Amino acid sequence: MGNPVQSLQHKLDAARVQFGRFLRNWRKRNGWSVTTAQDWAKACPAVIPWPLRVAGGQWGNIENGKVSQPQPSTFIQLGILNECLSQPERGTIKDKLLRQRVTEAQPVLHPDGRPWAAEDWFACYIGKLEGPEDLWPRQEEIDAEAETKRLRSLFDQAVELGGLRPVSAAMQVLRLAGELPMDQVMAIENALFAGERLPSVVLPIAKKALYDWVGTVAVELVPLEEPIEES
């Protein structure tokens, strides 16, 4: 019989990671950076009081599943942010890009149209509530994120072992990937430098290019692929 406390902890850990991916999907759908909510609070303290902002570093850590025991204020802050996004009046914002991001952003809503409040964000964090279907991470996204992290780790190891400059190394990988549309080039760069999830269409291209490159600079790191089983 398994340890019930350990089993619960595993479920909470998985829910925390899922919550971070959901938060990232929401942020990206709105075209935000991790500091946009903080920037909005700074520009419009009458809308979002500065003490109740979601700080950029805090947002990034939650997305990456690095906050194992967030303070209750975290969910209050997310609830206030979401409530503000459900209102037509969002304050006077001088910066053009910030104004566009805030104006066009959409809140997270229940099926009946109610914006998520603090208790909903907490329920989601502990795995008791799923986000809207269009924002909730799909299994292929989860798999692609795990594979992206593995490829980035391999890239970092090869760079260190070969004593290379990361930028030069990334350019070598991209050359081996061949002619690609600019969005795919950017996706590979963002994966190697920032760990951003590779789109499924780019993942096999990046994987082959990276393996080919590692074979030229640190052959001992090239992973051994599992044999394909005959059916």
Joined tokens for residue 175: 């050359």
The model's pLDDT over 153-178, given as tens digits with 9 standing for 90+, comes to: 999 999 999 999 999 999 999 999 99
CB distance 206 to 195 below 8 Å = no
Question: Alpha-carbon distance 22 to 38, whole Å?
Answer: 19
Tens digits of per-residue pLDDT, 87-107?
999 999 999 999 999 999 999
Per-residue pLDDT averaged across 185-194, rounded? 92
Task: Name 66's Cβ contacts closer than 8 Å, sequence gap at least 6.
Answer: none
pTM: 0.66
Domain ranges for the chain? 4-125, 139-221
Confidence check: pLDDT of 35 > 60 = yes
